[in-house]
Amino acid sequence: MNILTTREMAERCNVSPRWIRRLAAAGRIHPCQRVHKNWLFTPSSTVVRPPERWRREPQKLRLPHQQLTVRETIRQAKHWL
């Protein structure tokens, strides 16, 4: 069985090793195993999407080329990821 380290998994997902550690700690990468301070992954490990927010309606955002007032920018910034 081939085991991947955090760095190898980060290269495979094209993200930083820190982000992979955060996803693994949050339980969003399955299967993974923490051994002492390191995370170990299998080649079949996948990143699981977070659950959708059921009570929040999709917000309609304006395109970047449209002018926003300061108040509208603050209101829409709450929904940015």
| Residue 40 and residue 3 in contact, taking contact as beta carbons nearer than 8 Å | yes
| Residue 32 and residue 40 in contact, taking contact as beta carbons nearer than 8 Å | yes
What is the number of residues in the chain? 81
| Residue 30 and residue 45 in contact, taking contact as beta carbons nearer than 8 Å | yes
| Residue 41 and residue 29 in contact, taking contact as beta carbons nearer than 8 Å | yes
What is the DSSP secondary-structure string of 43-59? EEEEEPPPPP-SSPPPP
For the full predicted model, state whether its pTM sits above 0.75.
no
- Residue position matching structure tokens 């949050």: 26
Query: pLDDT tens digits for 12-64?
Result: 888 889 988 988 898 888 888 899 888 999 888 888 776 666 666 655 555 55
6 has a pLDDT exceeding 70: yes
